Amino acid sequence: MMDPASTTHPTTRRHFLAGAAAATTLLASAGCADAMKHASKGTPCPMIEPGSVILLQGDSITDSGRDRKRQDNANDARAMGRGYALLAAAQLLAEQRDTELKIYNRGNSGNKVFQLADRWDKDCLALKPDVVSILIGVNDIWHKLGGRYDGTVEIYERDYRALLERTRRELPEVKLIVCEPFVLRCGAVNDTWFPEFDSYRTAAKNVAKAFNAVFVPFQTVFDKAIQDTPPAHWAADGVHPTMAGAQLMAQAWLAAVSNA
């Protein structure tokens, strides 16, 4: 039943404190405190103003087992899933200490970008969010590789742009966060994904730039993490993050938001 480790592993890397320090350096180095000084340059900071409504959107990576029956409750742990959305929300609520902040998760497992569009009225616009964060793309290529979808990267980028145009039209003041699709080279992810997968990452980055959205470089974060720790530690199947992977994502998301 159990597989308790009965021996020590002297070769295992330990850099707990180094990791914690690095994460905070990331948060603090060019964070809101700095950006606020440059407010006259039009820097959209603080990105998360007091009382903001924040919406996290995406596929299964955002969904992470959220309880849909509670999805209308802001800041509800059960409605937030067990992934980066929960980890980032918990940290934001603990550190921002803003009792008026409202965070929602509406990620749906299996979604591609056109499926976000299909449910955008009720799962985004109706919430009147001040901040919308989107992580979408891995299914757009994965389901194609599996023969279940005939989309292309051009369709992905076109649909993504249309979605953000519609969002900006309906919510002119909305602040946008576009998250980089990512994979780890293990589990379901093999050489057949490349170089095509990289074109989806480029498309997401192009979309972020075109809409002046904050870009969260998840692939960069994971590429760095696998330099000293195997890919499966971060995402056993190459697509869905472990707890450790979700934590890295939450830190990267918070760092990007703080830098905005």
Which span (89-97, 109-117, 155-163, 207-215) binds a copy of itself, by CB under 8 A?
89-97
Determine the straight-line distance between the first and last CA of the chain, rounded to whole angstroms: 47
Alpha-carbon span 187 to 142, nearest angstrom: 13
Nearer CB in complex with a copy of itself: 86/203? 86
199 Cβ neighbours under 8 A, 6+ residues apart: 153
| Chain CA centroid to CA 141, Å | 17
User: Which of 134, 33, 127 shows the shortest CA–CA distance to 72?
Assistant: 127
Per DSSP, the three-state class of 73 is coil
Does 68 engage in binding with a copy of itself (CB under 8 A)? no
Tokens of 145: 């590789």
Does 118 engage in binding with a copy of itself (CB under 8 A)? no
β-strand partners of 185: none
Instruction: Work out which of 45, 56, 61, 86 binds a copy of itself, going by CB under 8 A.
Output: 86
Q: Smallest distance, Å, CB 9 to a copy of itself?
A: 4
Instruction: Work out which of 63, 107, 116, 129 binds a copy of itself, going by CB under 8 A.
Output: 129
Which span (31-39, 106-114, 145-153, 161-169) binds a copy of itself, by CB under 8 A?
31-39
Give the helix/strand (H/E) hosting 94.
Answer: helix 84-96
Nearer CB in complex with a copy of itself: 44/50? 50
Chain positions 173 to 232 lying near a copy of itself, rule: CB under 8 A, are 225, 228-230, 232
Nearer CB in complex with a copy of itself: 54/204? 54
